Structure 1
Amino acid sequence: MRTKRNITAAMTLGLILIIPGLANAAFTFTPIDAPGSVATFANANSTDAIAGEYDDENGNTHGFILKNGAYTVIDVLGAAGYSSVNGINANGHITGTYLDGSPSHTFHAYFYNNSVLTTLDPPGSNRSEGGFLNEQDQTVGTYRDSSDKRHGFFWDKGVYATGNVPPAFDTIAFGINDRGQIVGDYVDTEGKRHGFLLSNGTYTTLDVPGATLTVAEGINNAGQIVGLYIDADKHQHGFMLENGVYTTVDVPDSSASAIYSINAQGEIVGFYEDANGVAHGYIGTPGR
C-alpha cells in the first residue's frame, strides 16, 4: 500500500514553492533482506530499530522489525495475506496497514503499542493506510472516502483530524516528527504529484528540481526531509532536503532507489531495485 513498489489537526492554507539546488550525497549502504523474502522494503527507522515489510514466495506480505540483528515477523491477527509496518518509534510502538479477512478484503491502518492493536479508520473512510508515528504516538495516514478520493489524517489518542492540501485532488500523509510537522504528497488539479510539508498550519509544496513527480516520505526532528522523485527520463531516485537544498541519493548499481524514513542520527532507510529488478531494503549511514 505504501508508495514503494516503484511509483507507481485542523490544517490551513498557503502554498509556498521551494526551488533550491540539487546536490549529490554520500552514504554507506547496507542491504536488508528479510529471511525467506523475495522482495524487502525498509519503511521506517528509529535510533535502534528498522521496520518494514517483505514478500514471501507465496505472494504474501509480512511486516518485520529488525533490531540488534534479529528479525521479528509482524502479522496482524486475522489479516488476509498482507501486513506491513510503516512506522516505529523509540518505544517500539508501530504503525502500518493490514488487509482484513472479510469478503470485501479491505485495507486498514493500525497502531500497536506492544500490547493492544488499534485499527485506525477515520470517520467516512472505506479503507485506510497507516503512515509514521512520533514519540508521542501521534500517527498520520491516508484514507479513501466513498467517492474514492484520498485524504490525509492525523490521529492522537483516539481523536482524528483530517485535511487536504488546497486545492489538491488527492492528499497522502506519510511522515511526522516530534514537532508535529507532517510530510506527504498530493495530486494537483492537473494530475501532477508534488511533495508537501505541513508545519504550524502552513503547507509548503516540495518539488525536486527537474522532477516530473515528487513524494515526501519522512521527516526527523532536525527538519531533514526524505522521499523519492522521478526524473525526466522516468528514472526513480531518492532525495533528501536540508536547509533548502535537495540531495539526490541513489544506491550504487541500482535501477531505482527510494528513501522512506530518516532518524535523529541522519540514518536513512528505504528500498532499491538491483539489475534483475529485485527489491531490497537498505540502511544508509551518512558520511562524517
Structure 2
Amino acid sequence: MTIPRFEMPFGITLRVADTCCEAHQTQIWRIPMQVKIAARLTAASLALMSLCGASLAQAPAYTVQQVHPELAGMFGNSFNNKTRIAATIKNKKGKYVGAVCAAATCTEVPALAGAPKGSITSVRGIERLGHVVGNSPTAQTYAHAILFDGVETRDLGAFPEDDCGGCSLISYAHGINDKGQVVGSSQTANGGFQAFVWKDGVMTKLPTLGGNGSEAVAINSRGVAAGSAELDEFTRESHAAIFRKGKVQDLGVLGTGSGSTAFDINNFDVVVGDSTTDGPNGVRPFIYSAGEMKQLPLPANALNGSAYRINDAGWVVGGYLPMGDSHGRAWVNDGHEVYDLNSLIPAADQAQWIINGATDINASGQILVHATKPSDLQTIYTLILTPTAN
C-alpha cells in the first residue's frame, strides 16, 4: 500500500507509525510549507485514517439533503466548506443563469454593466468567502471572465492582443483560490485559447506544451494550477498539465493513451482527471502525485469514467458510465476503495434518487452531486451528501 508523501514546514519530518498497514513500516509525511500546520496535520490524519483506519472495515455512509427543492433544474458546479454553492439555476423568467446559493437563498449573479439587456452569466468556481468566477457577455457581446463578490460583477478582461485591449477577445474563468487568484483561458490573437492566471487586476498568460492552446481549470492555495495544454500545433493533442511559477509540466497519459485532462488539484499538488488508455475502456480516471500518474479504479460495471475533484484528505469523486446504460453514476474513492455513491445513501433515498454525478468534495468530506428521480430522468436536482459516523 502506498502512503502519500507530504512536506512539513521548516524541514521538519513527521513520522507516522504505520501499525495499521500491512507492512507495519514507519511512513514519512512531508507537508507543504505554505499550508497552515493545523490544517495540514488534520488532512494528514484524515488521509491516514482513510487508508489504514475504520474505512477499511466498512464503507462510508451519507445522509442526503436536497438543495432548494423549489428550484427544479438546479445544477451545483462547486461549493466551499460553508456549503455555499456556485450553481446554475432557472430564474423567474425561465432562463438558466449563474447564481450563488446558500441554505435559504440563491443570489443571481448579474451580468456586466453595459451588457445587452437579458444577458445571463455562468459561474464555475467558488472560494471560502463565497466569491465566484465564471463569465458574462460584455457591452460588445463577447464573453469575458468575471469575478462576483456578492455585490459587484467585475470584468477580468482578456489578453490585450487586439486593438482595444482585449475587448473583442473571449475569456472564461474556471477556478479561484482563497487568495483571490483566478484561472481560466482567454482567446489569443490567432483565435486559439491559452491558459491564464489573474491576480489584482493583472492577467498573466500561461504556457503551452508546444501547441497553440492551453487551459487552467483549478488552482490551489499555493498558486499551483492544473488543466491541460496542447503538445503541438498540428495534431492539437492535449495532455494534463500543472502550471507552476509561470512554467508548465506535462503530466503524461495512462499507458499508451493519446490524451489526458486534469480537472482538480489539492493543496498537496495532487492532481486528478482522466486519460485515454491503451485498453478497451476508452477514458479512465487518474491521480497524479510525486511525479507518477496512476489509474484509479472504477465500480465493477463501469464502461469508462473520470475523476473530477479531490480534497486535502485525498478523497476523490467523479462519474462513470455503467455498461448497458446511457445515464451516468457517481463514485467516491476514500484512498483505498471505490464506491458507487448510490449504494452509500439510505434505502429510502435510493428509492427517490439516482445520483448521476459528483461535482465537488469539500474539506469536511461533504459531496456535491447532481441527481435525477427514477420517475423523471430529465430534470436535474442538486444534493449535498454529508458523511455519517460509522
Could you say whether these structures have the same fold, taking a TM-score greater than 0.5 normalized by the shorter chain as the test? yes
* Match of residue 14 from structure 1: none
Q: 1:170: Cα distance to partner? A: 0.6
Per the alignment, do residues 277 and 42 of structure 1 end up closer, same or farther by CA in structure 2, a change over 3 Å counting?
farther
Query: Is 1:243 equivalent to 2:335 in the alignment?
Result: yes
The partner residue of 2:128 within 29, 47, 58 is 47
Query: Is 1:148 equivalent to 2:240 in the alignment?
Result: no
The partner residue of 1:208 within 285, 290, 298 is 298
Q: Which runs of 4+ in 1 moved over 6 A?
A: 20-24, 250-256
**SS at 1:189's partner residue?**
coil
8 Å contact from structure 1 (residues 22, 248) kept in 2: no
* Match of residue 247 from structure 2: 159
Q: Give, as a single letter, the amino acid of the residue that structure 1 aligns with 2:229.
A: Y
**SS at 2:157's partner residue?**
coil
| Identity, % of aligned positions | 21
Q: Give, as a single letter, the amino acid of the residue that structure 1 aligns with 2:334.
A: E
* Match of residue 358 from structure 2: 259
Q: 1:284: Cα distance to partner? A: 2.7
Whose RCO is larger (CA < 8 A, sep 6+)?
1
Cα distance in 2 between the residues matched to 1:29 and 1:50: 22
The partner residue of 2:204 within 93, 115, 118 is 118
Higher helix share: 2
- What stretches of structure 1 of length at least 5 have no aligned partner? 1-19
* Match of residue 194 from structure 1: 284
Per the alignment, do residues 195 and 230 of structure 1 end up closer, same or farther by CA in structure 2, a change over 3 Å counting?
same
Query: Is 1:33 equivalent to 2:88 in the alignment?
Result: yes
The partner residue of 1:139 within 200, 214, 225 is 225
**SS at 1:47's partner residue?**
coil
8 Å contact from structure 2 (residues 133, 176) kept in 1: no
Q: 1:285: Cα distance to partner? A: 5.5
Q: Give the aligned length.
A: 263
Q: 1:73: Cα distance to partner? A: 5.8
**SS at 1:174's partner residue?**
strand
Cα distance in 1 between the residues matched to 2:365 and 2:147: 19
Higher strand share: 1
* TM-score for both structures, normalised by structure 2: 0.56
Q: Give, as a single letter, the amino acid of the residue that structure 1 aligns with 2:357.
A: A
Q: Give, as a single letter, the amino acid of the residue that structure 1 aligns with 2:310.
A: I
* Match of residue 215 from structure 2: 129
8 Å contact from structure 1 (residues 51, 63) kept in 2: no
Query: Is 1:222 equivalent to 2:322 in the alignment?
Result: no
Q: Give, as a single letter, the amino acid of the residue that structure 1 aligns with 2:216.
A: G
Query: Is 1:94 equivalent to 2:94 in the alignment?
Result: no
Cα distance in 1 between the residues matched to 2:385 and 2:128: 12
- What stretches of structure 2 of length at least 5 have no aligned partner? 1-55, 68-73, 75-86, 99-121, 159-165
Per the alignment, do residues 287 and 267 of structure 1 end up closer, same or farther by CA in structure 2, a change over 3 Å counting?
closer
